[in-house]
Structures are given as structure tokens and as C-alpha cells.
Chain A
Amino acid sequence: MKIAYYPGCTLKAHGKNFEESALCSLKELGIEVFEIPRWNCCGTVFSLAADDVIHHIAPLRNLIRAQEAGFNSVVTLCAMCYNTLKRSKSRFDENLDIREKIQRFMDEEKIQLNGSFKILHYLEFLRDEIKFENLTRQVVKPLKGLKVANYYGCLLVRPKEIGFDDMENPTIMDNLIDGLGAKAIDFPYKTECCGAYQTVDKPQVVILRTAQILKAAQERGADVVAVSCPLCAFNLDYRQKDVRQAEGDFKLIPVLYFTQLMAIALGCPETSLRFDLHEVDPRPILKEKGLI
């Protein structure tokens, strides 16, 4: 099987641990990955203003690049890219005025985007195309004894027409993690916003939310928190040092991408996990559990 892959900006820098672990897991699953050529930033956020059409162009161009290369779907890892690509495509499909306006603006493009072109998140691809039971069969190092609180955040599950799981009680990551041999820990903050981009100008807000989210996970016995969004990862991981400063007795907890856990279970080398990019080092707990 061969898939078209859209990385997005952060996965090429701060989120290298997300990309490299995901690519290694795909290799272990025997899937060929084609990174779409000339991809550009999706804009990170879907425009909520009704008259703002220009910001749909950047995400749509990425889809055209994939379609030009012969694909009718694209797989992405970042929750924000996923949301933006998918919502722009829906807006383009559903609103004739907007579609015509965009097509006129992009008249230098040689092809027109198919209505049936699909945007898939890697989690969705694993559940629906690979199937979790097949993935479990390929596990060489079950994540035995590791308790994982799965944090879904906002844009993977909301709004309803975009998400591929229940908005209030998503379980897709829990099912994946259980399939890898770890124990998924349910916790009430799993879809509560971490503060997202407020981290740039109002860090104190994100520090409070990070503390709330992580403490809820710890109270339920989690060893680590798993995420699918590089912005959630940054806030939950890097803001812990600020939480520590505010509350001396705050216990640090490693934050990992679900793909890193997959990579461990599928037998990828430690170099693909890029632990050097973490603020809170996940190695001690993973060593304690005999996973690295």
C-alpha cells in the first residue's frame, strides 16, 4: 500500500519526534509513504469568518498537489493540519459560490480537485484501512504495564462533521493504545482545550490549563500522556517547567505522541523516537517498564 503524506510545518522542526516515529511505524507496517511535493503551510487554523475565502487556498493547494501525483486521499499526522485541510475541503465542496471564487483564483492549477478526495488522519487510517487488530498482530514489544492517558484536545474531534469519533467521549486513541499492549486511562480532561495558541501571548492561561489537565491524568494513575497535536504537545510538555515554578510539588509527567508509542511497540530503533526534543524526559519511565 502507498499513501500520500502531508507533514505540515511543525513536523519538520519542533515536531520531528512526531514525524520520525510515525514514518518508522509506517515502514514497519509495510506502507510506502509519498511526501507530497511542493507542499505549503495549511495556515494552522480554519477561517471562521464567513467571508474569508482566501485562507482556504493554502490548504486546498496541498490537496491538489496530492491529486496531481495520482492520489485520491492524503494522510496527515497533525491534528490542526487535519482540521484545516478537511474543513477547507468541506467548505469548497458544499458552497458553490466559494468553490467558483476559489477556482477562478487558482485558474493556473492544471487540475480541479475531486469531490471524492479524502483527508485522513493517521489514527483514522490505522483504524479504518489497516485495522487495529492487524496492527496488534505486528506488535513485537507490547507496552505491558504502561498506563497512558490519551489527550485528544479540540481539533481532532470538533466540530462533529470533521471528527472521526465521538465529540464528547472519543476512544480511538485508547483503542489503539490498548491494541499496543498498554493500558489506556480514561480521564475527564481528554477533550478540554489546553489553551492552544494563547501560549504565545498569555502563557499564564496555558500554564493553569496544563496543570489541570496533567493533574487529572496523574490522579487516575497515568504514567504518560499521549497526544496527536504538536501544539498540545508543546503546551503540555514545555509548560510543565512553568507549572513546576508556580507549584513546587507538581510532579512531572512525560508527554508522547501516539506514534512514538506505536514505534516502540513495532520495534523501531530508539533514534526514531527523538527523545532529545522532549522537555520532560520519557526515558526513565520507559526504562522502568522495560520498553527501551
Chain B
Amino acid sequence: MRINLSQKKIRDSFVEKVQQLSGQNLLVCYQCGKCSAGCPAVAEMDILPNQVIRFAQLGLKEELLNCRAIWACASCLTCNVRCPKGIKIAEVMEAIRQILLRQRLDHVDINKIPPEKRKEFPAIALISNFRKFTS
């Protein structure tokens, strides 16, 4: 994977926004990879959780806003409780999702779920899915 780094990207307001929304200091991460090692969703991810943090430090906005990883995360919090630096990785994932959702860029469209399937789901599945994946 080729990545272009620049001072402009690193100082972009995107980095600040992610830190604000997540309440995390991204620079605390020293890339040990423990979050990715324990994540049950990595098989579905194009960028691993530790890479999400690294990309966010470097202001790689487009890569993050277009990645699959943030939608594969189910906020199970395994990464959060194992991070030796106390970074809440799930909160960083949430921050990136929120940047998209707050522009009404929904990840899930209920109309695309067949009505007979919708009926099968308990309230808890639908409400949590829409809370996480729609604006």
C-alpha cells in the first residue's frame, strides 16, 4: 500500500476532530498491535485497528472515511480493555463513523432489508444497528 504523508494532512482539522469526538489522544499509541491481535472482527477489516490509529495520527482522512474497518467494528470493547496505553480504540472507530453519519452518510438503509427479514429481528438488533450505522 502506498501512502502519501504531508504536514498538511497531519495538521488537518480531521485529526483534531477525531481526537475531540473520541476523547482520545492519538499520539499516545506506540503501535504494539495488541488491539488488532485480539479483535474478533479483523477478518472483515481492510485496515487493522492499530492501523486505524496510525492513519488517524497521520491525518489520512480519505483512507479512513472510505475504509470497511469502521463498519466491521461492533464496539465489543476487547481492544479498549487490552490496550496497554489505555487508548479507547472503539471510541476512535466511533469518531470516524460519526464524521460520516453527521453528514447523513448512512451505512445502513432499512429499505434494503427485506420486510420478511425485518420481522425476524428482535428490537435490540434493529435499534442498536440503527444507532450505530445511521444518522
Contacts and interface: CB of A to CB of B under 8 A. Distances in A.
A154 B20 CA distance: 25
Interface in B53-91: 72, 74-78, 80-81, 88, 90-91
Given A192-B40, A193-B41, A193-B78, A45 B121 contact: no
Given A44-B131, A49-B21, A196-B128, A159 B81 contact: yes
Contact of B128 (A44, A209, A238): A44
Nearest to B120: A238
**Interface footprint category on B:** 35 or more
Interface residues of A, number: 43
A51 interface: yes
Contact of A196 (B76, B90, B91): B76
A185 to B, nearest CB: 20
Interface in A23-64: 41, 43-45, 48-52, 55
SS class, residues of chain A in contact with chain B: loop
Nearest to A204: B44
Interface in A187-202: 191-193, 195-202
Interface string B105-135: 0011000010000001111111111011100
A51 B90 CA distance: 15
A158 B81 contact: yes
Nearest to A79: B124
A199 B90 contact: no
Nearest to B22: A50
Interface in A215-250: 230-231, 234, 238
Nearest to A209: B40
A13 interface: yes
A92 B35 CA distance: 28
Given A192-B40, A202-B44, A231-B122, A197 B128 contact: yes
Contacts of A51: 20-21
Contacts of A205: 41, 44, 72
A200 B75 contact: no
Contacts of A8: 124
Given A49-B98, A50-B22, A193-B40, A201 B107 contact: yes
B118 to A, nearest CB: 9
A167 interface: yes
Contacts of B88: 48
B78 A201 contact: no
Contact of A45 (B75, B95, B123): B75
Interface string A1-24: 000000011100111000000000
Given A15-B122, A193-B40, A231-B122, A49 B81 contact: no
Contacts of A200: 108, 113, 121, 125-126, 129
Nearest to B107: A201
A196 B23 contact: no
Given A15-B124, A44-B131, 14 more contacts: A43-B127, A43-B131, A45-B75, A48-B88, A49-B21, A49-B95, A158-B76, A158-B78, A193-B74, A197-B74, A197-B129, A209-B40, A231-B125, A231-B128
Top-3 shortest CB links A-B: A193-B76, A14-B122, A50-B23
